């Protein structure tokens, strides 16, 4: 009887401690975010329900998850000029089920580097990316953080290339 009481006491003590340990997914996310932040990338969560632009995109594309989207933004330093083009491209699904990328402003000429990246994503038909944004001093990609360090390395490479256009 004493052993049963000791075992139960140990479970009550160790149970909550073991529950506080991060899961494998949380460790993976921390690893990829730490790698991105090492290159001065700003990471912010996106709520599709609260953001006007993404809420409209969600209404037209119900296949998109409401949560788990993050903006990875690389801002130009004082020595860098930033992208020469300002624009935004969003991914959507056609009635046939194909993922396509479209600019939010049809008057914007898509730079070759952006078109090459969009073509690559369109060929892969991956739902991992939602938006590509070029601003006067920054470039950002909204994605769902699927993958590991290799995917983050590729994403960082794309961000650096796009910042230089």
Q: What is the pLDDT along the chain (165 residues), one digit of tens a residue?
A: 888 888 887 878 877 777 778 888 889 999 999 999 999 999 999 888 888 888 888 777 777 776 789 999 999 888 887 777 888 999 888 888 888 888 988 888 888 888 898 888 888 887 888 899 998 889 999 999 988 899 999 999 999 998 888
pTM score: 0.83
Q: CA 73 to CA 126: how far, in whole Å?
A: 20
Q: CA 42 to CA 77: how far, in whole Å?
A: 13
Show the CA angle centred on residue 53, arms to residues 88 and 114, nearest 5°.
Answer: 15
Q: CA 62 to CA 54: how far, in whole Å?
A: 12
């Amino acid at each position: 009887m004493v052993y049963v009481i000791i075992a139960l006491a140990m479970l009550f003590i160790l149970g909550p401690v073991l529950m506080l340990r991060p899961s494998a997914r949380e460790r993976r996310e921390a690893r990829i975010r730490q790698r991105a932040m090492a290159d001065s990338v700003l990471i912010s969560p996106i709520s599709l329900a609260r953001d006007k632009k993404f809420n409209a995109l969600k209404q037209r594309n119900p296949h998109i998850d409401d949560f788990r989207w993050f903006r990875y933004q690389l801002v130009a330093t004082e020595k860098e000029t930033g992208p020469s083009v300002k624009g935004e491209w969003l991914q959507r699904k056609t009635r046939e089920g194909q993922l396509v990328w479209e600019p939010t402003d049809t008057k914007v000429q898509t730079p070759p580097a952006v078109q090459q990246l969009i073509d690559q994503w369109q060929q892969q038909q991956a739902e991992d990316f939602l938006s590509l944004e070029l601003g006067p001093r920054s470039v950002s990609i909204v994605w769902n953080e699927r993958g590991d360090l290799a995917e983050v390395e590729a994403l960082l490479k794309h961000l650096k290339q796009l910042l230089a256009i």
